Every structure is written in C-alpha cells, then in structure tokens.
A and B are shown apart, each in its own frame.
Chain A
C-alpha cells in the first residue's frame, strides 16, 4: 500500500449541482476534471490521505464574521454553507491533530467577501477562510493566525475582515491591481491604524512565472511568517495564476504551485479561484495534494507545459525584486506606525465605496474605529447600498477591553432604528450577535 509521508486531511466538495449561472466560470463542472484526475491518480487511496465529509456551517458561523444585509439567508445558498463547512471541517481536524495538514478543495470561493455583505462580489458571498479561522479561535482558542492568499486576484474581502486585527497577518500575493479585478492590493494598503503592517500586499506584474513566485515566497512571505510566529498558517489557494487561466495574465504552473505549497507548509489550504478547469486545475490540485502529503510531485505537469516558453522576462524579475524590497520596508515600519497612531486621535474614520460586480450592487460605508491602547478597538460601520438597505453595525473584537465592550453596547443601544433597516451588534467577547429593528 502506498503511504503519504505527511498525514493530510482533504475535504473535496465540487458542488456538482451549483453554479452562479450556466456559462459563468463558477459553474457545475469547475472541479469535474479535477475530480477525474485526483480519482484516477488514486490519491484518496493513499494511506495517510484522509477524505472527510464536509459538515454544514451554521448561521452562527457566518454571524461571527459578517454582517449580512438584509440577513444571512438572503445572500447565500446552501452551497456556501457546505463550502465554508468544508473549510471548518478540515481546520478542525488539523487543530485536533487528527492530521498534520489539510486542504479544503471546495467551491464556491470566499476571499472577496468583506465584513459587510450586501451580495456577491468576485464570485464570493461569504468568506470561508475567515469563518473557519474564527470558528477555530472560538472553539480551540487559537490566537495568532497568518493567511497567505496566493489567488491571482487581490484577497480584498479577507483584507477587509482582518484590516484592524493585529493578531491576524494577511499577506496577499496577486496580479497587480492596475491590470486585474478587484483593482486593489497595493503596497500602501498595510492595515488599519492599530494593525498597521499586519496586512501585506505583494502585487506582481503580469507574466510572473515560477521563479518570481518562489522569489516572493523566500524573500518576503517566509521571513514575515518567521517574524510573526503564527499558531496557524492558512493558504487561500487560488489557482488562477496558471498560464492557461482564461481570466488572468500570469505564467505559473502546476509544478510551481506544488513547490510553493511544499515550501509554505501551510496548516490549512483552502481553494479560492482558478478557472482553467481542464488545463490547470486537475494538475495543480494533484500537485498541491501531493506536496501537502509529502509525496514526490516532480512528475506532475500539464500536457502542454513548456517552462522555457512561459519563463518571466528580466523586467518582470527586477520589478518583483523592487516590490519585495518595498514590502519588507512596510513590514519593518508596521510596529512604529501602530505606536504612533495610538498617540493620535481617539477615533479613526474611513469612507469607502464598494462595488459588488457579481450582483451589481453599490455600497457606501463609513467606518469608525476606537483607537484603543489595550485592544483592537470597537468598530462601528454605517453601511448603505443602492438596494435601499442601510445598516448600523457594531463589532466588538475578540479580546476587547472592558471600556471597548461598554462603548460598543453604548453605540448599539443609542443608534436610531428609524434610520436603519437594522442595528446589529457582533460581540466577539461573548460570541453574540444581536439585531435591533
């Protein structure tokens, strides 16, 4: 019998009966050929590769992370609960040490879903990694978490959710936002005033190939992880940097993905995007599973793989080197900036306009953060969308100090319900979600 060298858990949930629309990239057969390849290679029979059935996530799991408008069931389908539940299942098995690592090969994805959800953005409705992480924090008391988002698109949803959380390091490596949806993820986006430096963006020029990805990994991501010392490393494992992906412009390969996976050593990987469903996904996923299981993936390659043809040019290489140098500077400055900000105003404000490309919704947000020296600070969001919905949402962070808890409840109770469809309290100190109407 063939054995894996590293015991790994896998949730495979291709949602063969779910699509955004019949010809949308996020459609039924997205993982069909991946299933065929993984089954044919016999990986699920390997001793030490354990396939788990996904548990269903609950509404409470959503409420721990999101403010859904007008409510949870209006913005999700059952498939989202299975997909998030699959990530939770894998994360749980890893934290319980039933397996050393895990991979949630699930759809639909989630990394474009922000804290407030009026609908679908970038094929995402709820953030499956954040739901998993917050479930693990609540259930097992996990503290510091690092998320490395290797999807080709900037993980703006995950960035938004952890913008003000100094205990969560979010690193996104993606195709430069000037050339691709969602048009964000620049170096200067480095986290909120009291969490500066725990959001790191590593934008890559189009046509970056294996060499560039591994350079960024070795010179930026791994050193930052070493510094941050997370209890759990999560990889948002999008597969759309592949040279055959129809909606992006990168030159990454199945071998490169496997190599990145082996070196990153994430505890949990969660599938995000990747829409080259025949030419890339079958090979990339076999590569990732084998790398996580500690197996030799050197013979995994696409039928049309010609490394010389997709190798990045020297301009790309030097652009990446410059970008990494700047990112390291951002990383270095983080702590100073945080300290400086705490001496400033009592509150920080932020106005934002958010576009939901999948559901064609425009949202306006005003955010108010209490700059607290003792905790991440209570956050208040006033959000209205062109759907006619307006909410007032209060988020009290997990380790909020007594003053911030009290301030949060003051905001919640004082808000005028006649101005809003609902006034919501997300109290993470007691894992409560309250709504006033």
Chain B
C-alpha cells in the first residue's frame, strides 16, 4: 500500500492506495497556521488500523516551503556573492544580509582574481553579529569551478547552522538564479527540517516506520532524508501533484493538456506523449526565478470562485476571488454559481446563485439561464485561450542548432484532461467547444493525492568536461576528476550515468526505477590557431519523471475513465 498526501489551499487530501483501488481517502481542512497538525491528522486517519509493514511508502506534497516563501516567513539569511566583472551583482540583492566580495572565475573555470580571506572573515563576523544562522555562498561560474565557493565555506567554518553552496544546486549556467536558489534553500532549511522531523517523530511514536518521500517541483519524489540538505526542491509541488495525478490517464502516442480548475486559479500543464514538460532552467516563486527543476505549468487567475461582473454590458470573470461561490454563502456571483443556475450544482444553495446572477443577467440584457450559459462558456473559452498562449510560448522556445530549427518538435495537444472541483462539467463543455478529446480525470477530487502517491523518484546529473584544462566536473554531485586529452563523449556519458545511478539510489529509488536517458549532449573542439587544442563536452542525463513502475497494479480499476455526467 502507498499513501499519497496533498496539502491544497482549502483541503488536505490523503489517500491509501493498494490492490487496485483507493482503500481509504481522507479530507481535512488545511490550516496554514498549523500545517503539521493537519498533515498529521490526515496521516493518522488514513493509516488507522493499517499494519505499518503493509505500507510501502508515503509521499507528501506540502505547501510548507512554498507558503514560507510566498508569505516571506523565512529565516534571516546571509548571502556571500562573488561576481567579478559583468552585471552588477547588487541587482540580485536578496535582502539586508547580502554581501558582494571580490574574486572572479571566467567562463572556462579559470581563476581571474583570487579571494580576499580577510574580507570574508569580516563578512562572517558581521553575519554572526547580526544573528544570521543560514548562509548562501555563490560565485559566478561556480558550475565551471567550485573553488571559490568551497573556500568561502571553509573560511566560514562551522559557525553557522547551514551553508548552501551554489554549485550544488544545479549544473545550469545562470548566476542570478543561482543566487536566488541558494538564498531560498538556506532560508527555508530550518522550517523544512523542523517540520519533517516532527512528522518523523510522530510516526515513530506510533510505531509507523514508513519510508517518507517528498514530492518535488519536477513531479518526482525524493526521500525525506535526502531532501533535508536541499529543501528548495520541495517548492511548487502542488501543481506537480496535479500533473502527476493526470499522468496515468494521458495517451502515450500524443500530447495532452492538463487543466486543474480550482477555486481561485486554473493551473495548466502539457504532457508530451505522457512525459511532463519541464521549465528550461527552473521554476519561479515569490518573484524569484530559480534553478529548481520544475514542471512547466502556467497559472491564471480564473477558477470556480472567480468574481463575475458585468462591465459596460460585457461579462468579466476574475482575476480576483472574494470568497466562496454564493451557493456556499459567498459574497459575489462566480462561475460555480452559473453551474448551479444551470442545474449542475449539488449540495449548495441554488437560490442564492440565482439571486447573485440575476442583476448580471439584467445588465447584459439576457435571461438568467442565458447569462449562466455565457459565464460558463466564457470561463472555458478563457482557459482555452490561455492554454493556447502557453503552447505557443513552448513552441517558440529558441533552439541553437540548424538541425533543431529544421526538425523541431511542435507541441500540439490532442486531448485535454481535467481535474479539480467541477471537473466533469467543465470537461463536458470543453468537449463541445474544441475538437479535442476531453476527459475528466477519474477520482478528480483526489487526483493530486493519487499523483503524489504514484510519482517516482527523479534525479539529474550535469557533467562538464574540458580536456584542454583536463577536468571533468559534475557540480551538483561535488564530483571533480582529472581527465586526459583522450577523454571522449562516450566516457563522459558513462561517467554521468554512473553518477546518476549512485545519486538515484541515495535519493531513495529502487533499482527498478532506473529509467535513465540522455537529455543533452554536445561536444565542441577548441582550436588554437589552426589546430585542435582540446574538447569541450557537455552532458545531461536524467531519470525520466513519471510514475512508479508498478502503478498499474496499484491503480488497477481506477485507471478507467470516469463517466461524464450527461452525454457527449
């Protein structure tokens, strides 16, 4: 059995899956002020009377770190930044404890200017005196040479609770994002560690020795133990959970648009032949562009609870939300109220919805039913327009070789999978107004928790080799090795795969989840005068994001599409 738990904006869902069905599902209200209580209560309920040894693992997708960043409830965090020439590093200031120090490394990883030890000791003393316990250390081009970051960490010694080094976060080149990512990792380190130690302790107390995994922004999982050092990976897992929840139902031979229609927002994502698309560099959170590997999702301020208005005789929906729909006692009419007027709502006060929409119908000069129809239709149209925009952006991503320009893959979704609140109703209408095949995801109301439960562990390794200088380097893995001039692409790929396997096992994956692939591969000759001086090799390998190999057995019967209400 597997547990999936997803902390959402309003509810926290937990599911216990096994033997081809959802054996138990629990819904508790989310209390942002006391996230631990709600996670613990959901875990307790979902595991009640279950023999612990029967539970293979529990995967948690929480809003803990995401909210801490969004609400700026982070620990005071120091940043030591060594930029050298180029863009002024002050532009990337993260807060009051931000210090630019000397030192410079060039694009080949060669030291141009050394560090000044005294300067760094001075900064350390200052951070200590300001009571800063968490520090991020970032140098420009540290993914070509980590020397300066490592030296700074050595000088700082053990006088801080946590020191995050930029080169360990990603193999990608992007200094400002490296700064932001190091900052966020250092700033949420304490909250993350404390929270999961509390979860672990509570489980231990109850004798539940379940392996705990955390859902990452890239839709993969990582063991709780491995996540402690780099908690930034756990941000933005909410959208990832919904994408993973839709994944089992996506077609293998075409592209899929996933729509998670919530109360406040609609989150959209694209699957290419059942593989989720990733952000090219990393996700964005709280105004920070990061290097945190994340699924490519787009969120628009349009959902079931968006406010409906009539402005100069024209309907306007969202982007704001004032509260619940009027059917549930909310203050303003919403698309959900339109569904009630159209007889598609259950359990709420349809009369309140009618009351709320009547003035709008008057202002746009139609009957109440027609107004409701138009509101519902406009909501769907706007969602489709935003999706089209997202797909256009994906397809206009620049590429850098002639071959890719001529043979570039164009994303073209042929089906839509809908999850979230009133998924079946939306699916039915979307099917009417597009030529795509539209389905509501089975168990759409708990699909996120299911997605978390079934996501497999992911890892990535970036390897860079320069045979002229004579080194191979995988920054995230802190791996550096001397190489000879005979080092080849084949050797580089083997080395990268080797590092990936080790990392993957460490992240808590099983051998059976070792579905590895090369995602980037480039090799350049470096020429001095008119003869070859060396090779510059770049390799990226990964374990494909996806579902655990046994998901078919676990999912069994719930893999069938759920029937839509009415006929299409």
Enumerate chain A interface residues (CB-CB to B < 8 A).
1-2, 11-18, 22-23, 27-29, 32-33, 35-37, 39-43, 45, 51-54, 56, 77-79, 82, 246, 278, 282-283, 286, 290, 295-296, 299-303
Q: Which of B376-384, B400-408, B475-483, B490-498 makes up part of the contact surface?
A: B400-408
Determine if B54 is an interface residue (Cβ-Cβ < 8 Å).
no
Q: A35-B400, A40-B175 are in contact. Are A22 and B107 (CB under 8 A)?
A: no
Q: Are B104 and A303 in contact (CB under 8 A)?
A: yes
A37 and B107 within 8 A (CB):
yes
Chain A contacts for B349, CB-based, 8 A: none
- Residue B532, interface by CB 8 Å: yes
- In the assembly, what is the distance between CA of A39 and CA of B173, in Å? 6
Pick the contact of A29 from B85, B104, B281, B524 — CB < 8 Å? B524
Across the interface, which residues of B come within 8 angstroms of A39, CB to CB? Answer: 172-174
Interface residues in B496-535 by Cβ distance below 8 A to A read: 522, 524-527, 529-532
Known contacts A13-B400, A78-B402; 16 additional CB pairs below 8 A are: A16-B400, A18-B401, A22-B525, A22-B527, A28-B525, A29-B536, A32-B524, A41-B86, A42-B175, A45-B281, A52-B396, A53-B397, A299-B86, A300-B86, A302-B85, A303-B112
Contact indicator per residue, chain B 72-110, by CB within 8 Å of chain A (1) or not (0): 000000000000011110011000000000001011101
Between A and B, 9 residue pairs with Cβ closer than 8 Å are: A18-B401, A23-B531, A29-B525, A29-B527, A41-B86, A42-B174, A78-B405, A295-B87, A299-B87
Select from chain A the residue with minimum beta-carbon distance to B396: A53
Do the beta carbons of B85 and A299 come within 8 Å of each other? yes
Q: Does B176 contact A (CB under 8 A)?
A: yes
Task: Return the chain B residue nearest A25 by Cβ.
Answer: B527
Q: Which residue of B lies closest to A40 (CB)?
A: B173
The interface residues of chain A lying within 8 Å CB-to-CB of B174 are: 39-40, 42, 45
Please tell me if the beta carbons of A33 and B525 are within 8 angstroms of each other in the complex.
no
Measured CB to CB, the residues of B under 8 A from A are 85-88, 91-92, 104, 106-108, 110, 112, 140-141, 172-177, 281, 287, 289, 396-403, 405-406, 522, 524-527, 529-532, 536
Known: A1-B289, A39-B174, A42-B87. A12 touches B524 (CB 8 A): no
In the complex, which residues of chain A have a beta carbon less than 8 angstroms from the beta carbon of B110? 303
Residue of B nearest to A43 (CB): B87
Contacts of B402 in A (CB 8 A): 15, 17-18, 77-79, 82
CB-CB under 8 A from A33, the residues of chain B are: 107-108
Contact in complex: A299, B405 (CB < 8 Å)? no
Chain A residues with CB under 8 A of B173: 36, 39-40
- Residue ID in chain B nearest A51 by CB atoms: B398
B150 to chain A, nearest CB (A): 18
Which single residue of chain B is at the shortest CB-CB distance from A254?
B85
A42:B176 contact, CB within 8 angstroms: yes
A33 to B404, CA, bound (A): 20
Interface contact B88-A299, CB-CB below 8 Å: yes
Nearest chain A residue, comparing its CB with the CB of B144: A36
In Å, the complex CA distance between A282 and B401 comes to 19
B108 lies within 8 A of A278 (CB)? yes
A301 to B106, CA, bound (A): 11
Q: Is the CB of B525 within 8 A of A42?
A: no
Known: A16-B522, A45-B176, A78-B402. A40 touches B287 (CB 8 A): no
Closest to B110 in A: A303
> Would A23 and B396 be within 8 Å (CB), given that A28-B524, A42-B175, A45-B174 are in contact?
no
Query: Does the CB pair A2–B92 fall under 8 Å?
Result: yes
B91 contacts which chain A residues (CB < 8 A)? Answer: 2
* Chain B residues within an 8 Å CB radius of A2: 91-92, 176
Give Cα A56 to B526, complex, Å.
Answer: 29
**If the complex has contacts A40-B107, A299-B85, are A53 and B525 also in contact, measured as CB distance less than 8 A?**
no
In contact, B401 and A15 (Cβ under 8 angstroms): yes
Question: B398, A17: Cβ atoms under 8 Å?
Answer: no
Q: Once the chains are docked, how many angstroms separate the CA of A1 from the CA of B91?
A: 9
**For the complex, what is the distance from the CA of A29 to the CA of B130, rounded to whole Å?**
47
- Cα(A286)–Cα(B106), bound, Å: 14
Q: In the complex, what residues of A have CB within 8 A of residue B401's CB?
A: 15-18
**List of B residues within 8 angstroms of A246 by Cβ:** 529
The 7 closest A-B pairs by CB, nearest first: A42-B176, A29-B524, A39-B173, A303-B112, A40-B173, A17-B401, A53-B398
Bound CA–CA A12/B104 (angstroms)? 26
Residues of the A chain whose Cβ atoms lie less than 8 Å from the Cβ of B532: 22-23
Closest Cβ of chain B to A31, distance in Å, is: 9
- Contact yes or no, B398 A1, CB < 8 A: no
Closest residue on chain B to residue A35 by CB atoms: B400
A56 to B401, CA, bound (A): 13
Distance in Å: Cβ of B251 to nearest Cβ of chain A = 27
Nearest CB of B to A391, in Å: 28
Contact A17 B403 (CB under 8 A): yes
Given A18-B402, A278-B108: A42 touches B524 (CB 8 Å cut-off): no
Q: A36-B173, A290-B87, A300-B85 are in contact. Are A29 and B112 (CB under 8 A)?
A: no
- Contact in complex: B536, A32 (CB < 8 Å): yes
Shortest distance between the CB of A30 and any CB in chain B (Å): 10
Which residue on A lies nearest to B104, using beta carbons?
A303
Cβ contacts under 8 Å, B108 to chain A? 33, 278
| Bound complex: CA A106 to CA B397 (Å) | 16
CB neighbours of B141 from chain A (8 A): 40
Given contacts A40-B107, A299-B85, contact A78 B406 (CB under 8 A): yes
Q: With both chains docked as a complex, state the minimum distance between the C-beta of A58 and any C-beta of chain B, in angstroms.
A: 14
* Interfacial chain B residues near A23, Cβ < 8 Å: 525, 527, 530-532
Assembled-state Cα–Cα distance A408/B526 (Å): 51
